[in-house]
A and B are shown apart, each in its own frame.
Chain A
Amino acid sequence: MATLKLTGVRKAYGAVEVLHGIDLDIRSGEFVVFVGPSGCGKSTLLRVIAGLEDITGGTLEIDGEVVNAMSPKRRGIAMVFQSYALYPHMSVYDNMAFGLTLEKAGKAEIDRRVREAARLLQIEPYLDRLPKQLSGGQRQRVAIGRAITRDPRVFLFDEPLSNLDAALRVQTRIEIARLHEGMEGTTMIYVTHDQVEAMTLADRIVVLNKGHVEQVGSPMELYARPDNLFVAQFIGSPAMNVLPATIEATGETTRVKPQGGALVSVPVSTPTAAIRQAVHLGVRPEDLTLAPAGGDGLFRGVVTLVEKLGEVTLVYLDTGGEKPLTAKLAGDVPLERGTTIALSARPEALHLFGSDGRAIRQRMRLAA
């Protein structure tokens, strides 16, 4: 049971600041995922929380206590590393027991904890083996087991699945989710660059970019109501289509004219002064549908590429704009390169962003 409170946390290496004042509240028992492109500072933030890196500015509190100057051990955290970081010369058992032997815990107690963690992770048959005799997935379990035996207040995961193959990644992801359910009250912080991991595991996602928090929210909040262009394009795959547009009429609903598209009403209210302003219109590939034959739709263009993935068909459309428009159409859609098609989208599925990249809120989505 632990709450974390980050207030203006900064981290600089010499003159280079990589975290520019992070404010974050993490509730007890919450599963929080830090996500962002490489170099965004998510791993650094995790290492700052772990106590592996000094905090340059701001405060970090665990359960209301400032822990800036506290050693990792006294913070009551455990960490699972991307590279597993197992002691190569020690057996699985010793790897898990090594950190415990100093805590004055009795031998029997250590043994009980190690065996319990091993049972939980189904690595009991490998307790006498060395890490090099295990597969990647098994090593990862040992690393998680080592963290569990410490009975931490806060669990930290640094890209724990990135060294596993695709099938194992899905399986381990599910196991981590189950682990979190089983360890009631244990706060978990998980770093990844994989948005699928973020979406599936997180209670809340923290999107980081260039050392700033872009948005904090539940996976569905981030997907449905991105605060800004960065989050809009980072969450969701393929990324949201963003087109330069101009406001043609203001009021309760706003009429915009996107580049290479038709005039469209977005259910967002804008002040009269916003008329003729340059904005960005965003629409997710999966929100685009083929306009009925003969209909004009929202966008009209020539198909430049068709990718069939089985359950969906990705269509790339040249609308005369800078970038092709991507549409994700359900099922196997019989389309050929070179044909001209029209795509439409529900007005509620359209996102409007100001020239500064901040979202112009959609009232209808908010109400829903």
Chain B
Amino acid sequence: MAQVHSSAPPTRHALQAVARPALKSELSRQRRRSAWLFLAPMLVVLALVAAWPLARTIWFSFTDASLDDLSGAHFVGLRNYLEYVDYGDGTGEYFGLLADGEWWGAVWNTVRYTVISVAIETVLGLVFALVLNAPFPGRGLVRAAVLIPWAIPTIVSAKMWAWMMNDQFGILNDMLQSIGVIAHPIAWTASPETAIWAVIIVDVWKTTPFMALLILAGLQMVPGDIYEAAKIDGVHPVKVFWRVTLPLIRPAILVAVIFRALDALRVFDLIYVLTPNNSQTKSMSVFAQENLFQFDKFAYGSAASTFLFLVIAMITLVYIKAARLELGGGR
């Protein structure tokens, strides 16, 4: 036996050394070719609908383009972002996106809206997912029903909620007044104190099902027998949740949170329909859209769009990096 083993490998290796390189490179070249072939259509589509518009937007942000005359745009450097205008009398002023209070207001609104709504959606989504993961009669029906808010187009649900939150005819005020929670009707979408909360309420209503669905998928990956083991061990259900369930579904939650956060940072339609022209709720996307198409400051809007893109890209990179580090440490 030992002899066979000691003599066989060199022979086989020698054969492979001769035969393999040519064979392998030909095979892998073929594979690479077919891989590119399959990827090509998607790459072309991505280039057309994502890379090209993005590149154009970034280019326009460095020009003086206006909506009427895109082809006559001239390069102006960083003027749209930041420019110091010297008044000649020793005084001067900064102009541009980075010096625009309204822009920073939009950034703050967006970040605040994202953090609050995603946090609420994560907690609620987790609760929903836990409930939907437990067996009970009619579970299939409830699972389908929960998804309804998410299936409704945002514009439709925003308009629906706008009517429900209407200060004079809205059902929300009527209900709250009849049970005595509020004494006077509230202009939910218009009043500066409540507008951002109106947006958050509708967003939570709409996207919690999405969160619940992603977390539910994670929950279903957890093997059921370890819950039985914990039951035999007599571990309290609350402790089982914190020490067993949560660590095991954390990857799913992290993915769900980044999906939702990226969505929320780009929010446009909900705010545009529910609370138009309200500086308390104006998001980065709304700010960009206004400048691009309503105020005829196309280049300025492009700069806002580019900045928004940078912010989202940065947050994604940092988040993925942080989440992966955490995952590596926890596993």
Contact between chains at B234 and A102 (CB < 8 Å)? yes
Q: Which residues of A contact B233 (CB under 8 A)?
A: 73, 98-99, 146, 150
Determine the main DSSP class of B at the interface with A: helix
Q: Which residues of B contact A64 (CB under 8 A)?
A: none
Q: A83-B223, A83-B225, A102-B239 are in contact. Are A89 and B232 (CB under 8 A)?
A: no
B236-261 interface bits toward A, Cβ cutoff 8 Å, 1 = contact, 0 = none: 10010001100110000000000000
Those of A86-114 within 8 Å (CB) of chain B: 86-89, 98-99, 102-103
Q: Which residues of B contact A50 (CB under 8 A)?
A: 232
Contact between chains at A85 and B234 (CB < 8 Å)? no
Residue of chain B at shortest CB distance from A100: B233
Those of B202-226 within 8 Å (CB) of chain A: 223, 225-226
Asked if A243 is at the interface (CB within 8 A of a chain B CB), the reply is no
The size of the chain B interface, using a CB distance under 8 A, is: 19
- A72, A87, A89: the one within 8 Å of B234 (CB): A72
Contact between chains at A130 and B235 (CB < 8 Å)? no
Q: Can you add 11 more A-B contacts, CB < 8 Å, to A51-B232, A88-B226, A98-B235?
A: A52-B228, A71-B231, A83-B225, A86-B229, A88-B223, A89-B244, A89-B331, A98-B233, A99-B230, A102-B239, A146-B233
Q: A72-B231, A102-B239 are in contact. Are A89 and B225 (CB under 8 A)?
A: no
Asked if B9 is at the interface (CB within 8 A of a chain A CB), the reply is no
| Complex Cα–Cα for A239 and B239 (A) | 50
| Complex Cα–Cα for A49 and B235 (A) | 18
Residue of chain A at shortest CB distance from B234: A73
Q: Which residues of B contact A88 (CB under 8 A)?
A: 223, 226, 248
Contact between chains at A72 and B232 (CB < 8 Å)? yes
Q: How far is the CB of A56 from chain B (nearest CB, A)?
A: 18
Asked if B330 is at the interface (CB within 8 A of a chain A CB), the reply is yes
Those of B77-92 within 8 Å (CB) of chain A: none
- B229, B239, B248: the one within 8 Å of A89 (CB): B248
Contact between chains at B231 and A52 (CB < 8 Å)? yes
| Complex Cα–Cα for A74 and B230 (A) | 13
Contact between chains at B331 and A130 (CB < 8 Å)? yes
Contact between chains at A102 and B235 (CB < 8 Å)? yes
| Complex Cα–Cα for A227 and B86 (A) | 108
Which 8 A-B pairs rank lowest in CB-CB distance, beginning with the nearest? Answer: A73-B234, A99-B233, A85-B225, A85-B229, A72-B232, A79-B232, A89-B247, A85-B226
Contact between chains at B244 and A87 (CB < 8 Å)? yes
A-B contact pairs, 26 of them (CB 8 A): A50-B232, A52-B228, A72-B231, A72-B232, A72-B234, A73-B231, A73-B234, A77-B232, A79-B229, A83-B223, A85-B226, A85-B229, A86-B226, A87-B229, A87-B244, A88-B223, A89-B244, A89-B247, A89-B248, A98-B230, A99-B232, A99-B235, A102-B235, A102-B236, A130-B331, A146-B229
Q: How far is the CB of B235 from chain A (nearest CB, A)?
A: 6
Asked if A126 is at the interface (CB within 8 A of a chain B CB), the reply is no
Asked if A232 is at the interface (CB within 8 A of a chain B CB), the reply is no
B interface residues with partner A (beta carbon < 8 Å): 223, 225-226, 228-236, 239, 243-244, 247-248, 330-331
Q: Among the interface residues B229, B231, B234, B247, which one has the most CB atoms of the partner chain A within 10 A?
A: B229
Asked if A81 is at the interface (CB within 8 A of a chain B CB), the reply is yes
| Complex Cα–Cα for A77 and B231 (A) | 11
Q: Which residues of B contact A98 (CB under 8 A)?
A: 230, 233, 235, 243
Asked if A9 is at the interface (CB within 8 A of a chain B CB), the reply is no
Those of A241-280 within 8 Å (CB) of chain B: none
| Complex Cα–Cα for A52 and B228 (A) | 7
Q: How far is the CB of B282 from chain A (nearest CB, A)?
A: 43
Q: Which residues of B contact A73 (CB under 8 A)?
A: 231-234
Contact between chains at B229 and A81 (CB < 8 Å)? yes
Q: Which residues of A contact B232 (CB under 8 A)?
A: 50-52, 72-73, 77-79, 99
| Complex Cα–Cα for A105 and B242 (A) | 21
| Complex Cα–Cα for A87 and B231 (A) | 13
Q: Which residues of B contact A102 (CB under 8 A)?
A: 234-236, 239
Q: Which residues of A contact B248 (CB under 8 A)?
A: 88-89
A30-67 interface bits toward B, Cβ cutoff 8 Å, 1 = contact, 0 = none: 00000000000000000000111000000000000000
| Complex Cα–Cα for A52 and B223 (A) | 16
| Complex Cα–Cα for A50 and B230 (A) | 12
Residue of chain A at shortest CB distance from B247: A89
Those of A119-154 within 8 Å (CB) of chain B: 130, 146, 150
- B223, B243, B330: the one within 8 Å of A85 (CB): B223
Contact between chains at B228 and A81 (CB < 8 Å)? yes
Q: A83-B223, A83-B225, A98-B243 are in contact. Are A89 and B330 (CB under 8 A)?
A: yes
Q: Which residues of A contact B229 (CB under 8 A)?
A: 79, 81, 85-87, 146
Q: Which residues of A contact B247 (CB under 8 A)?
A: 89
Residue of chain A at shortest CB distance from B224: A85
- A71, A87, A130: the one within 8 Å of B226 (CB): A87
| Complex Cα–Cα for A122 and B243 (A) | 27
Those of A135-186 within 8 Å (CB) of chain B: 146, 150
| Complex Cα–Cα for A146 and B233 (A) | 9
Q: Which residues of B contact A146 (CB under 8 A)?
A: 229, 233
| Complex Cα–Cα for A85 and B233 (A) | 12
Residue of chain A at shortest CB distance from B233: A99
Contact between chains at A81 and B225 (CB < 8 Å)? yes
Q: How far is the CB of A97 from chain B (nearest CB, A)?
A: 10
Q: Which residues of B contact A103 (CB under 8 A)?
A: 234
Residue of chain B at shortest CB distance from A89: B247
Q: How far is the CB of A134 from chain B (nearest CB, A)?
A: 15
| Complex Cα–Cα for A99 and B229 (A) | 9
